[in-house]
Structures are given as C-alpha cells and as structure tokens.
Chain A
Amino acid sequence: MKRRDFLKSVSGLAAGAALPAMPSMVSSAYADARSETLLIVSEGGPNNLDIHGVGTNVPGYEVSWNCYDRLLSHEMKTGPGGVPYYDRDKFKGELAEDFKIDDMSVTFKLKKNAKFHDGAPVTAKDVKWSLDRAVSVGGFPTFQMSAGSLTKPEQFVVIDDYTVRVDFLKKDKLTIPDLAVIVPCIINSELVKKNASEKDPWGLEYTKQQTAGSGAYKVTKWTAGTEVVMERNDDWVGGPLPKIKRVIWRMVPQAGNRRALLERGDADISYELPFKDFQEMKASGKLNVVSLPFSNGIQYIGMNVTKPPFDNPKVRQAVAYAIPYQKIMDAVMFGLANPMFGAPKDKPTEVAWPQPHKYNTDMDKAKALLAEAGYPNGFETTISFDLNFAGVNEPLCVLVQESLAQIGIKTTINKVPGANWRTELNKKEMPLFTNVFSGWLDYPEYFFYWCYHGNNSVFNTMSYKSAEMDKLIDGARNAAATGDTATYDTDVKGFVDLAYSDIPRIPLYQPFVNVAMQKNISGYQYWFHRRLDYRAMAKG
C-alpha cells in the first residue's frame, strides 16, 4: 500500500519511470485473489436468484442453497468412494439452534446471533413469512412444500421472537425432510416487504435480482447468462466459516473449452461435460473426478399403457428383453452409471430403491413373448426423447431402435425440443420414450407415489393405473408415518415386484453426477439436489 501511495505522490515524470514496476504489483494481488477464489465453469447459469420465483432453473437452486439458510440441514456421512454424502436420516439445525419433534408438531429455537446480510437479526416472524411465502406463491415451491404435507400458512406459528412451531396436517414421514430441502429458505422479510408491490405482494421481482438471506454467501454481481460472483458472508452462523472467500461462476457454453480450462488449470471446477470427457479425465488422473449415483434417480424407457400395443404386458416384457442394456452402459454412458438390469434370477427383492430388475437382453425370449402377445411380425411405433439431453438420449434411442428392429418393432425417432418436452409429457400421448426421474427426497414410496400411483401425476408418464399398486404405495406411506416397519417392508417389496412384473417403465441405469475439479480443491459434498455446496470447499 505504501508503495502505491508513494507512486501516486510522485509527479507525472516519475510515473513513467515507475511503470515497469506495475506488472509485479498487479500479479501478486492477482495471485492472492486467485488462491481464495473458486472459479466454476458450467454450461448454464441461473435465471433467477430466488427459488420461489417463477420458473427458476436448476442453476438458480445452487445460488439459493449457498446464499440462504434453512431451519434444518442434513448431517454428512461417508458415501461411495469416501466422498462426503448427505445423511438422509440425520438432521442438524442450520438457523435453528435446537428443535424438538412432537407427535403432531415440531418446535424450532432460532440462533439468537443469526443476522441477514444487511445486519437485521433473523427472527421468528421472518421464518413464518418465508414459509408462508413458500406455500402460497404457487408453482414449483408450493408443490414441493405440499410433498411434505406443508400446505397452509396456519401451520407455521410464531411463539416468541426466537421460537417457531410447525404444526403437522397429518402424520407424514416426509415433513421433516421437506423442511431441509432448498425451498423452505429463510428470507429477510422486512427488506423484501419494503420492495414488494401490490401486484407482487411477495416481492418476487426484488429477490429475483438480489439475495436477501442470511446464508454463507451473498451475490455481489450477476450478469445473466455470463457470470455470477458471490462473496463470503463473514458473519455467517449456520456452520463453520467457509474457507473460500469468493466464488466466480462463469458460463462457458462450449464443453470442449470447459475441459481445456480445467486441464490448463485456469478453472477450478466444472460439471456438465460429456461422459466421454469425464471418462478420459478420470483415466488421465490429472484432475479429481467425482462420480456419484443420483440419489433416487433412474433413466428409463417408458411405454404408454393406455393404448395398444403397449397395453399388453407381454409386449412390454418383450421390449424389456430386447433393450441392449450393456451396449447403452458402454457406448452411451462410458460406464459412468449404475446398471439397473440383469439381477440374478434368485436374488430376493430388497427394501430399497433404486434396485436392478431381472430382465436381460434376450432376443429369442423377446420374439417369443411378442408372438404370444399376437404380434409375431412386430409393429410400428415412435420413440421420443428430450433434445435438451440429446448427448445421452440420442445415442440411447438409436441403440434401442436398432435392437427393437431385430424383433420386428420398427421405430421412428421423435426428437422433442426441450421447451416442448414437458408439454408432451403432460399430454401423455407418446407411445414410447426415454426420460429421467429423480426425487429430492430419497424414499422408495416417494418415487413410486410420483411415478406409479394411479393419481396419474406428471411423472407417471406411462399413465399406469393399478388398484393393487395404489394400495401398496398408500400402505407404505401410512406405515412409514406410523413407524410400522413390517408392513412398510412388505409393501415396498410388493410395489417393486409389481412394477417389475407389469413393467410399464423399464429402468436402464442410475445416472451419475460427475464433477471434475483441480487436485487442490477439497471438500466436495454430495447433496440430494446434486449442485455444489461451496461452504465446505477449500483450495490449496
């Protein structure tokens, strides 16, 4: 600093002489900034900094996760390959100092020293306002809250400035986990209310552009589609002070360039690279590549069971025997996935999800089943996929097309633009398609409730309806809430067995989330939302 002051004080003539000294000064400041800054490169960036906003995309979740606190968070455990992995069943307070779960409610005591980024204390009324907002704004946040039976503002009761009670509508095992997902984040209610308007009572326009939380980081600069800069909040009380001072997150659309940036050592972390790149980087060993299975996630081939020919279970089984599973694993996923097929014949069904089914590629069996079903010469149909994930979906569909042709099923590939995919799914008219589903809450009955239940949610993409299946799913949900383990186990095994014998959707594999980072980056944690948690990371 002194040197700089000195430089400033000398007159113009001397300034010219001092110029050669400039580069070294700049580069040392540059090196400091570099060692405390995490540079992330990814394809897409957030479109909204608030998860309660209209149409906030997945990168936006990452900002919310790191810039806002929740009442609760998960403990960590050691996951596959020694990577820290969130513990589904163990909770700890984040803004809550202490919490007590009673029969029909849970009471939170807030940390008294917790402050929002603007210095205002975090109080019970902020908590109530934030949770009210989550169940009232509509769209995705409200939907996610309802998955844990949190639907009415009356459920959130302020007891005193630092105590809040959440009443249960009914017994539901998912209520507590649902309070630890990204959505029920605690927002600076006074600040946002000041910036709300009559048309926008929840201040969504304000929180879209800036963060108003108490989290470990705050967004200091956001240029949509280009970069997000986050600075550490040194007064954070939700956990130990993070080591990374600044996070710069740049959008680099070209996958090849992201890889080059990593290999040259210019970027610290990247995800969303082609599987082939991840596999090559893993093999070369210059970078750390973490690959972990999506919790509660499966890529599958779905069949519309309401229309012929897929209304016939024999046809569906025939297709299940005609899928080139191993080829897909090798040529599409480059081995970076957990196979969900070909379990040994005598393997008992487990109380777990996802678990592999017993189908294998067996063309003779497939042909026989198809003949039995009355289609000895096959039929014609279309197979659809989402172009947003064409990197995986396209080769996958080509392999399936090729394989189905061998048993006489002629398929045309229908590429659906990303913007259109959800509309198409909602219509439930595509006869044959591939898709991924993964649930934030890692419970078998949660997955089945969305994907197989007769209430026909968006994710029951096959329009599958079976009274027996509904009975088993509802049974498991009730048993989970009341703690009846024996019934729970039988029901879970029951619905898994039924899903595999009726086979309306054919699980292919459990995808991996792949993250590549420099060797000097440590502290990566796997979370149910699969985005980065900067708070635990360190550099050097």
Chain B
Amino acid sequence: MLTMIGKRLMFAIPSLIGVVIVTFLLTRALPGDPAAYFAGPAATKEAVEQIRKKLGLDKPLIEQFFRYTNDLAHGDFGNSLTTGQPVAAEIRNRLPASAELTLLGLIVSIVIAIPLGVLAATRPGSWVDHLCRVTTTAGVSLPVFFTGLVLVYVFYFRLGWSPAPLGRLDVFYSAPPTVTGFYLIDTLIARDFEAFRSACSQLILPATTLAIFSLAPIARMTRASMLAVLSSEFVRTARASGLSPATVIVTYAFRNAMLPVVTTLSMVFSFLLGANVLVEKVFAWPGIGSYAVEALISSDFAPVQGFVLTMAVMYVLLNLVIDILYGVIDPRVRLEG
C-alpha cells in the first residue's frame, strides 16, 4: 500500500511542474503592469521604472522564472504586493478558514442530501422524491452570492438571529491560539466556550449557503446510484431471503451505491474550496478564494501562483485519498498506479 502511495505521488510530480510553468507564464501574460499599479497614482515614468527594478520585473522572463523556481524550492512563495505579506504565510492562515467553512458546508450537505437521496430512491415518484427534486433544482439554480445575501438579509438584517456577517469571529472576541487553524477545534482546545459559540454562530449562515448549493449533485448522485443498485440481482436475492428492509438498504444497497457518491463528494469538495469566493465575499470571510481573486485583479503575481500551486497539490492529495477510500469501501478495487 505504501509503495503504491509513493508511486502515485511520483506520478503527480510532472503535473505539478507543468502547473508551475503554466501559472508563471499565464500570470506574466495578464494585462496590466504591476510596476505602474504599485507606483501609485502620482508616479512619474522614472518612479515606475524604479519600482519595476525593485520588483525585479526588468529582468528577462527566463531569469525571473529561475529565480521563482529557486525560491519555490526553498519554500518561499514570494511576497504579495497588495497585502504586503509573504504568500506562504497568508495561504497557511487563510486555507484553514476556507477549509473549515467548506468542510462544514459539505457535512451539512451530506447529512441532508444522502438520506434524502436514499429515501427518494426507495420511493421513486413519492412526495419524498419530488421534495428531493425540488430542493436540488432550487439549490443548484440559485447563485451562491444570492442565497448568501438573502440569508443575511433575512436572518441578520430582518430577524437579527444571526450575528453580523463580519468573518470568523465576533469583532470583540480574540482568535484562539492556532493549533489546527479551525476555530471550532481551537476554541475547544483553548477551553474558550464563548468564542466557540461565536465561531459556531458565524459559521452557520455561510455553511448553509454552501450546503444549499452543493445539495444537488450529492442528492442526485445518491438517488441515481441507489436506484441502480436497488434494482440489481443481489438486492433481490437479499430481499427474497427475508432480510429486513433496513438491512437490505443500509448494509447491502447503500454500501454498493457509495462509490459514485464518494467520487462526487471529492469533486464537490474541491470545487467548493476554489469556488466559494463569492460566499467569502458576502460574509467577509478571510479565506483563500477571495485572496486569490483580489490578487488577480491587481496583477499581483505571487499570490496567484501560490494559490494555483496549493490547489494543485490539494487536488493530488484529494484524489489519492479518494482512491484509498475506494479500496476501503469496495475490496475489489485495487489501488494501482
């Protein structure tokens, strides 16, 4: 198993090198001149040139590239010009924020979508099936920022149940000492229950927004794959042998229906992590998506490259985890290179 994992990671190396080269070239091809942007509104031509020199942008492209890869090899992602911070540190700080939100959104989504999908599959055409269809269609057709704004409007502005959409914690609480970067866990470790409550209540709306959006693929996939499994012969055999419906559905059918669901989950997760920019914007969430977009807008190369690279690494790891999970769920699947 370990050698297999090693082999898989080896295969990921060429794609990562490709990602490094392509992002480097792509960011250089962006319109806009960072030197002019950062020289400020009142800059003279000489001032712009001075800044260009300071940023090392006057060097030939190939030299810039070697300098960049050399820095990367030393774990240095460069400095963001807009925020003025080292990119590696920023990503380290922001990734947990996005991951916590995305994971929670996904968990909420799974808790609702999988039972809904299973129920819909066991009673096709019933009201549960229709409910499943309506919620998923509604969820996927509402844009995330719209759902987010509506939730803020109703639960914060109108009803006042939810706290102000001001990021991960109430303004007057201080963040717990970083252990995992997940506030829900870190506040518990620090035994700061007030902050835990605050972190929790700040998470509810954005996580719900993400959950509503990701309900559809999970529920639909669960339903479809359950339907296929339920009509297969081993289920008929199980039923004929007089096993209780619960055992048939949960133990036999559901386990076999899980493979495609897990694949969908991995896709939904990676998609959400990158695509929750809008949710982050609406809830002033200090996550990685809004960071990358802001960097892109101001032609700030280093964070964009850092972001793409981090995402690429995460995809590789995620795929690996999913492949391992396959083997656990279905022993017939062999982990091969």
* A residues apposed to B, CB below 8 Å: 22, 26, 30, 33-34, 37, 39, 41, 47-48, 53-57, 138-140, 142-144, 208-209, 223-227, 248, 250-254, 256-257, 260-261, 263-264, 266-267, 417-420, 422-423, 426, 457-459
Q: Please tell me if the beta carbons of A252 and B284 are within 8 angstroms of each other in the complex.
A: yes
Q: List 11 A-B contacts (CB under 8 A).
A: A55-B51, A139-B40, A224-B90, A226-B286, A254-B281, A260-B157, A267-B164, A419-B37, A420-B31, A422-B43, A457-B44
Contacts of B43 in A (CB 8 A): 139-140, 143, 422, 458
Q: Is B167 an interface residue (CB 8 A)?
A: yes
Contacts of B281 in A (CB 8 A): 253-254
Query: For the complex, what is the distance from the CA of A14 to the CA of B157, rounded to whole Å?
Result: 39
User: Quick one: which of B85, B171, B290 contacts A253, CB cutoff 8 A?
Assistant: B290
Query: For the complex, what is the distance from the CA of A224 to the CA of B297, rounded to whole Å?
Result: 16
Q: Is B282 an interface residue (CB 8 A)?
A: yes
The closest CB in chain B to the CB of A209 belongs to: B84
Q: Please tell me if the beta carbons of A248 and B81 are within 8 angstroms of each other in the complex.
A: no
Q: Please tell me if the beta carbons of B286 and A257 are within 8 angstroms of each other in the complex.
A: no
Q: Is B165 an interface residue (CB 8 A)?
A: yes
Q: Please tell me if the beta carbons of B48 and A261 are within 8 angstroms of each other in the complex.
A: no
Closest CB in chain B relative to A106 CB, distance in Å: 24
Q: Is the interface of A mostly helix, strand, loop or mixed?
A: mixed
Q: Please tell me if the beta carbons of A47 and B157 are within 8 angstroms of each other in the complex.
A: no
Closest CB in chain A relative to B201 CB, distance in Å: 14
Contacts of B283 in A (CB 8 A): 257
Closest CB in chain A relative to B147 CB, distance in Å: 13
Q: Please tell me if the beta carbons of B284 and A254 are within 8 angstroms of each other in the complex.
A: yes
The closest CB in chain A to the CB of B145 belongs to: A254
Q: Please tell me if the beta carbons of A139 and B51 are within 8 angstroms of each other in the complex.
A: yes
Q: Please tell me if the beta carbons of A26 and B286 are within 8 angstroms of each other in the complex.
A: no
Query: For the complex, what is the distance from the CA of A260 to the CA of B31, rounded to whole Å?
Result: 36
Contacts of B83 in A (CB 8 A): 47, 224-225
Query: For the complex, what is the distance from the CA of A139 to the CA of B55, rounded to whole Å?
Result: 13
The closest CB in chain B to the CB of A25 belongs to: B194
Residues of B50-109 whose CB lies within 8 A of A: 50-51, 54-55, 80-85, 90, 93
* B residues apposed to A, CB below 8 Å: 30-34, 36-45, 47-48, 50-51, 54-55, 80-85, 90, 93, 149, 152-153, 156-157, 160, 164-167, 171-172, 194, 281-284, 286, 290-291, 294, 297-299
Contacts of B166 in A (CB 8 A): 41, 250, 252, 261, 266
7 closest A-B pairs by beta carbon, nearest first, are A55-B38, A224-B83, A419-B32, A419-B299, A420-B32, A140-B40, A226-B286
Closest CB in chain A relative to B86 CB, distance in Å: 11
**Contact status of A264 and B40, CB under 8 A, knowing A139-B47, A223-B286, A250-B284:** no
Q: Please tell me if the beta carbons of A140 and B54 are within 8 angstroms of each other in the complex.
A: no
Q: Please tell me if the beta carbons of B40 and A55 are within 8 angstroms of each other in the complex.
A: yes
Contacts of A224 in B (CB 8 A): 80, 82-85, 90
**Contact status of A418 and B297, CB under 8 A, knowing A143-B47, A225-B286, A260-B153:** yes
User: Quick one: which of A33, A138, A226, A423 contacts B167, CB cutoff 8 A?
Assistant: A226
Q: Identify the interface centre among A26, A53, A225, A256: most chain B CB within 10 Å of its CB.
A: A225
- Starting from the known contacts A143-B47, A458-B44, 16 additional A-B residue pairs (CB-CB under 8 Å) come to A34-B172, A37-B172, A48-B84, A138-B47, A209-B84, A223-B93, A250-B171, A252-B165, A253-B284, A254-B282, A264-B157, A417-B297, A419-B33, A419-B298, A426-B45, A458-B42
Contacts of A253 in B (CB 8 A): 281, 284, 290
Q: Please tell me if the beta carbons of B157 and A143 are within 8 angstroms of each other in the complex.
A: no
User: Quick one: which of A39, A47, A57, A422 contacts B36, CB cutoff 8 A?
Assistant: A422
Contacts of B294 in A (CB 8 A): 225
Closest CB in chain B relative to A488 CB, distance in Å: 25
Contacts of A257 in B (CB 8 A): 152, 165, 282-284
Contacts of B50 in A (CB 8 A): 138-139
**Contact status of A261 and B38, CB under 8 A, knowing A252-B284, A256-B149, A423-B32:** no
Closest CB in chain A relative to B202 CB, distance in Å: 13
Q: Please tell me if the beta carbons of B84 and A47 are within 8 angstroms of each other in the complex.
A: yes
Closest CB in chain A relative to B80 CB, distance in Å: 8
Contacts of B54 in A (CB 8 A): 54
Contacts of A252 in B (CB 8 A): 165-166, 284
User: Quick one: which of B31, B85, B160, B167 contacts A417, CB cutoff 8 A?
Assistant: B31
The closest CB in chain B to the CB of A147 belongs to: B42
Q: Identify the interface centre among A30, A48, A209, A266: most chain B CB within 10 Å of its CB.
A: A266
Q: Please tell me if the beta carbons of A419 and B297 are within 8 angstroms of each other in the complex.
A: yes
Query: For the complex, what is the distance from the CA of A39 to the CA of B172, rounded to whole Å?
Result: 10
The closest CB in chain B to the CB of A140 belongs to: B40
Contacts of A426 in B (CB 8 A): 36, 45, 48
Query: For the complex, what is the distance from the CA of A226 to the CA of B281, rounded to whole Å?
Result: 11
Q: Please tell me if the beta carbons of B33 and A55 are within 8 angstroms of each other in the complex.
A: no
Closest CB in chain A relative to B151 CB, distance in Å: 11
Query: For the complex, what is the distance from the CA of A252 to the CA of B285, rounded to whole Å?
Result: 9
Q: Please tell me if the beta carbons of A26 and B291 are within 8 angstroms of each other in the complex.
A: no
The closest CB in chain B to the CB of A261 belongs to: B164
Contacts of A418 in B (CB 8 A): 37, 297-298
Q: Please tell me if the beta carbons of B51 and A266 are within 8 angstroms of each other in the complex.
A: no
Q: Please tell me if the beta carbons of A422 and B160 are within 8 angstroms of each other in the complex.
A: no
Query: For the complex, what is the distance from the CA of A257 to the CA of B278, rounded to whole Å?
Result: 13
Q: Identify the interface centre among B30, B34, B36: most chain A CB within 10 Å of its CB.
A: B36
Query: For the complex, what is the distance from the CA of A418 to the CA of B30, rounded to whole Å?
Result: 12
Contacts of A420 in B (CB 8 A): 31-33, 299
Closest CB in chain A relative to B145 CB, distance in Å: 8
Contacts of B48 in A (CB 8 A): 426
The closest CB in chain B to the CB of A417 belongs to: B32
Query: For the complex, what is the distance from the CA of A248 to the CA of B171, rounded to whole Å?
Result: 8
Query: For the complex, what is the distance from the CA of A336 to the CA of B150, rounded to whole Å?
Result: 29
Query: For the complex, what is the distance from the CA of A227 to the CA of B83, rounded to whole Å?
Result: 12
Query: For the complex, what is the distance from the CA of A226 to the CA of B168, rounded to whole Å?
Result: 10
Query: For the complex, what is the distance from the CA of A447 to the CA of B105, rounded to whole Å?
Result: 53
Q: Please tell me if the beta carbons of B51 and A263 are within 8 angstroms of each other in the complex.
A: no
Contacts of B90 in A (CB 8 A): 224
Closest CB in chain B relative to A420 CB, distance in Å: 4
Contacts of A261 in B (CB 8 A): 164-166
Query: For the complex, what is the distance from the CA of A263 to the CA of B153, rounded to whole Å?
Result: 12
Query: For the complex, what is the distance from the CA of A263 to the CA of B152, rounded to whole Å?
Result: 13
Contacts of A209 in B (CB 8 A): 84
Contacts of B172 in A (CB 8 A): 30, 33-34, 37
Query: For the complex, what is the distance from the CA of A138 to the CA of B34, rounded to whole Å?
Result: 17
**Contact status of A143 and B164, CB under 8 A, knowing A55-B39, A264-B156, A419-B299:** no
Closest CB in chain B relative to A201 CB, distance in Å: 13
Closest CB in chain B relative to A461 CB, distance in Å: 12
Contacts of B51 in A (CB 8 A): 54-55, 138-139
Closest CB in chain B relative to A287 CB, distance in Å: 14
Q: Please tell me if the beta carbons of B84 and A140 are within 8 angstroms of each other in the complex.
A: no
